[in-house]
């Protein structure tokens, strides 16, 4: 078990471009989360999957953001037509989900929009 | 008012000091409480996980939960320069799925 894995670790893009981040959760963890963190702030909830079902999407997420978790394994977070305000650390986390359990994070994907 | 409040610091202490980090919260439904350590440009690392009120100890770290006061604490004994990081509290209500985080407290342990 290698923990939660995120790729790429850092992405620099120009305003208006699309970016995609990938998350591989801890195996057998059926809950997967995406959070966003900006400098000096705690992680803010973006969206949550139970297996392959996306059960909640924060109102922080505009229509430019979409997340998927096909087959209930890895997940992708896509941001279309990036804006400078999208610059942040995007954190993926997973938990076992049978009971309210520990939440384990990946190292994050840092997005810089120029 | 935020659901979880945490003093952002920074908090500077000399090596070997006992550090006390705290969070307050407003939602009485929270029952599971976590502390994370986050180094600069890294993901949060889970340090302590506790359920309901009481104390839990793990090495130099002790987590305390006082549900009656809606107050949680993390104590670090014999603090080391390697403890310098941001410490995040997080909590969640039983049977729910949304973990709520504090803003984090930046700690500097001076050698």
Compute the radius of gyration of chain B from its Cα atoms: 13
Q: B10-23, pLDDT tens digit by residue?
A: 999 999 999 999 99
Distance, in Å, from the CA atom of B110 to the CA atom of B79, rounded to the nearest integer, reads 9
Cβ-based contacts of A60 with chain B (< 8 Å): none
Check CB contact under 8 Å for B44 and A91: yes
Cβ-based contacts of B41 with chain A (< 8 Å): 89, 108, 110
The nearest alpha carbon in chain A to B10 belongs to A40
The mean pLDDT value of chain B amounts to: 93
Q: Three-state DSSP class for A12?
A: strand
Model confidence band, residue B53 (pLDDT cutoffs 50, 70, 90):
confident
Model confidence band, residue B56 (pLDDT cutoffs 50, 70, 90):
very high
Question: When comparing pLDDT for A56 and A35, which is higher?
Answer: A35
Distance, in Å, from the CA atom of A90 to the CA atom of A34, rounded to the nearest integer, reads 7
Instruction: Judge contact between B102 and B90, C-beta under 8 A.
Output: yes
pLDDT computed for residue A84 by the predictor? 96
Q: How far is B69 from chain A (nearest CA, A)?
A: 22
Q: B76-93, pLDDT tens digit by residue?
A: 999 999 999 999 999 998
Report, as an integer, the average pLDDT of A34-59.
93
Taking 80 as the threshold, does the pLDDT of residue A100 lie above it? no
A42 in reach of chain B (CB within 8 A):
yes
B61 in reach of chain A (CB within 8 A):
no
Check CB contact under 8 Å for B103 and A104: no
Report, as an integer, the average pLDDT of A56-80.
92
Cβ-based contacts of B102 with chain A (< 8 Å): 42
Percent of chain A surpassing pLDDT 70: 96
Give the one of A40, A103, A106 whose C-beta lies nearest to B99's C-beta. Answer: A103
Check CB contact under 8 Å for B31 and A100: yes
Taking 80 as the threshold, does the pLDDT of residue A1 lie above it? no
The nearest alpha carbon in chain A to B94 belongs to A100
The mean pLDDT value of chain A amounts to: 92
B3 in reach of chain A (CB within 8 A):
no
What torsion do the CA atoms of B86, B21, B45, A41 make, to the nearest 10 degrees? -40
Dihedral sign, CA of B12, B43, A88, A43? negative
Cβ-based contacts of A7 with chain B (< 8 Å): none
């Amino acid at each position: 078990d290698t923990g939660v894995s995120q790729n790429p670790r850092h992405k620099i893009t120009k305003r208006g471009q699309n970016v995609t981040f990938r998350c591989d959760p801890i195996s057998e963890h059926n809950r997967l989360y995406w959070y966003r963190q900006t400098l000096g702030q705690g992680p803010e909830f973006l969206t949550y999957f139970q297996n392959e079902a996306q059960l909640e999407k924060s109102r922080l997420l505009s229509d430019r953001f979409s997340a998927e978790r096909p087959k209930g394994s890895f997940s992708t977070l896509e941001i279309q037509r990036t804006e400078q305000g999208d610059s942040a650390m995007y954190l993926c986390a997973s938990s076992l989900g049978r009971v309210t359990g520990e939440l384990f994070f990946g190292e994050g994907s840092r997005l810089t929009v120029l | 008012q935020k659901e979880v409040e945490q003093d952002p610091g920074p908090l500077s202490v000399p090596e070997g000091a006992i550090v006390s980090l705290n969070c307050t919260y407003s939602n009485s439904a929270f029952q599971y409480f976590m502390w994370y350590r986050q180094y600069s440009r890294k993901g949060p690392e889970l340090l302590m996980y506790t359920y309901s009120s009481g104390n839990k100890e793990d090495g130099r770290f002790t987590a305390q939960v006082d549900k009656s006061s809606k107050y949680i604490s993390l104590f670090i004994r014999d603090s080391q320069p390697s403890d310098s990081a941001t410490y995040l509290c997080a909590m969640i209500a039983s049977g729910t799925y949304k973990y709520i985080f504090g803003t984090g407290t930046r700690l500097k342990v001076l050698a």
